[in-house]
Amino acid sequence: LGNVGDRGNALSVSSMTSTTSSKPTRPATPEHVAIIMDGNGRWAGKRGAIASVGHKAGIDALQRTVEGCVELGVRFLSVFALSTENSINRAAEEVTFLVQLVRSVVSDRLDKLHKEGVRLRFVGNLEGIGDPHFMKIVREAEILTAANDTLTLTVALNFSGTDDIVRSTRAVAQRVRDGSIDVADIDAAMISDSLSMGYIAPENREPDLLIRTGGERRVSNFLLFELAYTELYFSDVLWP
């Protein structure tokens, strides 16, 4: 799986059995993998380079990971590109560069991804990025690839798991206020359907495996609702 941690074992999970109420049996190769791509800046710093060099290398690593997922039969790949917290705390020029890099990569590699059967989807507060051209490019990419089903690649950008839950809760509360549902109708499935990942079928929505590179042992506000029963794999290797 690209250059993610201990590549020999990252996807060789002996049992992907979920502990949800239905307890589905998972195949040895997970259908849905999530990755927190952490370490670009530190990787570049160790080589005497600026952070942008690491981000460029990180995009190349993601491309290799996409190819690896297609080869292995992974059907869903969800990656954490930029958290809302990092978009606030990082230097403005670094965030701007990262957004421009994603924009240019989508433009340059879209045809290749489309031919490979990859469906692209972006989640997060994209409007908050403040780049109309970026919004136009990603929405066009989503429309073009909407029918592809070899691999669904979800890119979380300016994303916050807590904010996602808050927005979902508000949407459900509005339905109660409008009288379309009763309070007693609210359940976990309804909340899940209202989240950013709600566009994926319920049986594939929750990642089977989360991989985080870079040495940290936390999920950093990524897909908080969906990761409840996900297997976690932490690697000290820096992305890319």
Catalytic-residue membership of 125: no
pLDDT for residue 23: 52
Catalytic member of 6, 40, 60, 86: 86
Catalytic-residue membership of 3: no
pTM of the model: 0.87
pLDDT for residue 4: 41
pLDDT for residue 131: 84
pLDDT for residue 102: 87
pLDDT for residue 95: 83
Catalytic member of 3, 6, 9, 38: 38
User: For 112, what's the count of Cα atoms within 13 Å in the CB-facing half-sphere?
Assistant: 10
pLDDT for residue 5: 39
Beta carbons within 10 angstroms of residue 17's beta carbon: 14
Strand partners, 92: none
**Which residues of the chain carry a pLDDT beneath 70?**
1-27
